[in-house]
Amino acid sequence: MALRTASRALRQLSRQANGIPSGAMRARPSTRGYATPTMGQQNRTAIVTGSSRGIGKAIALRLAQDGYDLCINDIPANKSGADEVVKHVQGMGRRAFPYMADVSNLKEVEDMVQASVSELGPLNTMVANAGIAQVKALLDLTEQDLKRMFEVNVYGVFNCYSSAAKQMIKQGNGGKLLGAASIVAFKPFALLSHYSASKWAVRGMTQAFAMEMAEHKITVNAYAPGIVGTAMWDLIDEELGKKKGAKKGDTIKKYSSELIALGRTSVPEDVSSTVSFLCSPDSDYMTGQTIVIDGGIIFT
């Protein structure tokens, strides 16, 4: 007993000699609260842009399953699809409403955020999913091609991030911002140059927002799908096939067999599962990351 007491006394004297106060050897991590309610809490809300079909639809349905009430967004041309998603979400026992807005228009996005708060309550999560793609050779690109690509894919994400962040800061409880990047945010594809550049910008903007929003307890992350069986990739496959003389479907099959380690094209639910994690409390200590979900094309 005397030996153990002497040993503790010596350790305490050593700490004091080195300027370390007693009890400081085991630093306790501080906790930070985020606006990601658990399944049992009310007002778990999210806006998912471009959610009338494809990956956006899968994300909306997964978040409804996770307990979110949802604002289903798309452009007016896709209203019927948005209405169907709303009905599906409501059939799962969650609240949902459609809101038609072009994400490239800041005022429309700001109005959408306010409509979501009015309809569903405080905004917890923004998923800036809407985007466009175009297959075109670099030297054939027009100024309008570049402009429209960046208006939707870059300005659109900025508009969603900034409008949602301002609302979350006003609420004072933090939140989650998510953006749609792509594997081309890490390695561009030929004939998808301006699309690739726009997704690199999303990745960079996500990191910049993460740095500036941290003090407000808002985390900012992006998800980077690979080759997904959606209407967008059907178009890419068709246009690449025209350029290379391949039949419809052959380009995606070739990519799947030669590029994807897991040997299959992904489905929207592969992406929505990861987005579910990024929206959940389990990812509260992650920010500024772009998570690749591509079956093993890009290794980060």
Residues tagged active-site: 195
End-to-end CA separation in angstroms for the chain = 54
Nearest CA to 156 among 118, 128, 115?
A: 128
β-pair partners for 228: 266
Report d(CA 163, CA 175) in Å as an integer: 12
Q: How many CB atoms lie within 10 A of CB 27?
A: 6
Specify the residue for token string 């939707």.
152
Residues 6+ apart with CB under 8 A from 136: 145, 191, 193, 194, 239
Residue listed under structure tokens 């945010």: 185
Q: Two tokens at 35?
A: 């606006």
Would you call 263 helix, strand, or coil by DSSP? coil
> What SS3 state is found at 25?
coil
The answer to whether the Cα torsion of 286, 205, 138, 134 is positive or negative is: positive
Q: Which amino acid appears at position 226 of this protein? A: G
Amino acid letter, 231: A
Residue with tokens 């009310």: 42
Q: How many CB atoms lie within 10 A of CB 99?
A: 20
Cβ(43)–Cβ(122) below 8 Å = yes
> By the 8 A CB rule, do 290 and 253 touch?
no
